[in-house]
Amino acid sequence: MSTVGQDRPDLLAMLPEEVDALFLDIGLPRYRSAQVVEWLYVHGARSFDEMTNLPKSLRETLSKDLTITNLQTLKVAVSRDRTKKFLFGLTDGAAIETVLLPEGERSTACISTQVGCAFGCLFCASGAGGLARNLTAGEIVDQARKAKFDADAGRLTNIVVMGMGEPLANYEATTKAVRIFLHERGLALGGRRITISTAGFVPGIRRLAADDLPVRVALSLHAADNRTRNKLMPINRKYPLEQVIDSCTELGRRRTPLTLEYMLIFEINDSFDDAARLADIAHALKAKVNLIPYNPVPGGRYRAPSEERVLRFQARLREAGVLAFIRRSRGTDIDAACGQLRQSASREGHG
């Protein structure tokens, strides 16, 4: 099911083969399900009414028996750098965020998997109000559809599952959505075009390592020792670095490309000793590193390091033989950090 409180099957929560089987079960020929799936993923239909090559009587019948998740756009913010952030409303009144990152004629969608987050990382606005609920597969898929068919998207070439929430704590819905992204009759993206992010949720990492999803994984590391990571990311108290590294080693055995996301926070995790520890972890996991200068959130307690300090940290990693890149935050003028738009909209009365 795709919408909370909805007892009709949601087509966006189904693989194309499952839609085919459902249509056969209700006595409809295979070509009808093919038409519907094409409307969903090639044309971006938001309702059966838009599927104009289906007879009106059939559209009315399908509307009564089935549903298509259609997220409500509550707010859109566009940055000077063309980053576009959406606040989407759900059927139960909750709200989530999706970010569209255009690059020339191509674009990347950053999508959410939960309403809020249970892990409460101190530098992130997503978990400020805790976890409300998991998203359904249909709600995850429709974020990608909304991004793909946005007028500013160009060609949607990449999806990063690293918006609000911990994707691997909502494993079934997240991986179902990813399989739809990969499917040739779905969004038809290659596995290297999809990245699943995790804060170090070890049970989910181990489960993903045993799965057959050919995707990339990004580990939000942000500290290379348990003491600092415990402070920044409470999840580390339950799943310390040793367990996280061990589970990510299992991913490596499957040749899953791994990136370490490391937010640089002034005088918290940006020393040369931190760089040395991070280099050891990167070597152990055969991972590249994305360095992200901290983007302050309203009421936050941390500061961003200077440009010189960031470059020195990167240089130390490269001297140690680590492939390290600096990834600049985009959309800083529109509250584009995870959770910020939802927070500001809540203060204004949305969500």
Residue 216 domain-assigned? Answer: yes
**Residue 243 tokens, joined:** 């367990």
What per-residue confidence (pLDDT) applies to 351?
Answer: 44
159 and 265 fall within a common domain = yes
Residue 183 domain-assigned? Answer: yes
Average pLDDT over residues 303-324: 97
166 known member of a binding site:
yes
36 and 115 fall within a common domain = no
End residue of a domain, out of 65, 81, 101? 65
Cβ contact 339:351 at 8 Å: no
Average pLDDT over residues 151-166: 95
Cβ contact 329:292 at 8 Å: yes
- Share above pLDDT 70 across residues of the chain, in percent, rounded to a whole number: 90
61 and 76 fall within a common domain = no
What per-residue confidence (pLDDT) applies to 121?
Answer: 80
The CATH number of residue 47's host domain is 1.10.150.530
232 and 297 fall within a common domain = yes
Checking if the pLDDT of 1 tops 70, the result is no
Who wins on pLDDT, 68 or 336?
68
Indicate the number of domains in the chain: 2
226 known member of a binding site:
no
pLDDT band at 256, cuts 50/70/90?
Answer: confident
Residue 249 domain-assigned? Answer: yes
Residue 344 domain-assigned? Answer: no
Checking if the pLDDT of 101 tops 70, the result is yes
Find the domain containing 30 and state its range: 16-65
Checking if the pLDDT of 175 tops 90, the result is yes
Residue 339 domain-assigned? Answer: no
Residue 298 domain-assigned? Answer: yes
Checking if the pLDDT of 3 tops 90, the result is no
Residue 2 domain-assigned? Answer: no
The CATH number of residue 216's host domain is 3.20.20.70
Question: What pLDDT, in 10s, does the model give residues 257-295?
Answer: 999 999 999 999 999 999 999 999 999 999 999 999 998
215 and 122 fall within a common domain = yes
Average pLDDT over residues 69-87: 95
What per-residue confidence (pLDDT) applies to 296?
Answer: 79
Residue 6 domain-assigned? Answer: no
- Ranking 216-225, 309-318, 333-342 by mean pLDDT, the lowest is 333-342
283 known member of a binding site:
no
33 and 135 fall within a common domain = no
Q: Which of 38, 97, 184, 319 is catalytic?
A: 97
Checking if the pLDDT of 347 tops 50, the result is no
Q: Where are the alpha helices (DSSP H) in 77-170?
A: 137-148
Examine the residue annotation and report whether 97 is marked as an active-site residue of this protein.
yes
What per-residue confidence (pLDDT) applies to 18?
Answer: 98
How many CB atoms are closer than 10 A to CB 153? 20
- Ranking 89-98, 122-131, 138-147, 188-197 by mean pLDDT, the lowest is 122-131
- The CA-based angle 178-182-184, given to 5 degrees, is 145
- Share above pLDDT 90 across residues of the chain, in percent, rounded to a whole number: 81
243 and 272 fall within a common domain = yes
110 known member of a binding site:
no
Cα–Cα distance, 40 to 233 (Å, whole number): 38
186 and 58 fall within a common domain = no
C-alpha distances out from residue 335 to 42, 66, 89, 97, Å? 31, 36, 18, 11
What per-residue confidence (pLDDT) applies to 315?
Answer: 98
Q: Nearest to residue 351, comparing CAs of 71, 70, 47, 23?
A: 71
210 and 330 fall within a common domain = yes
Q: Which of 110, 139, 248, 338 is catalytic?
A: 338
What per-residue confidence (pLDDT) applies to 118?
Answer: 78
Task: Return all residues near 238 (Cβ < 8 A) that are at least 6 apart.
Answer: none
Checking if the pLDDT of 334 tops 60, the result is no
248 known member of a binding site:
no
End residue of a domain, out of 38, 65, 92? 65
Checking if the pLDDT of 326 tops 80, the result is yes
78 and 61 fall within a common domain = no
pLDDT band at 128, cuts 50/70/90?
Answer: low
50 and 113 fall within a common domain = no
251 and 293 fall within a common domain = yes
C-alpha distances out from residue 261 to 60, 135, 200, 204, Å? 48, 24, 11, 18
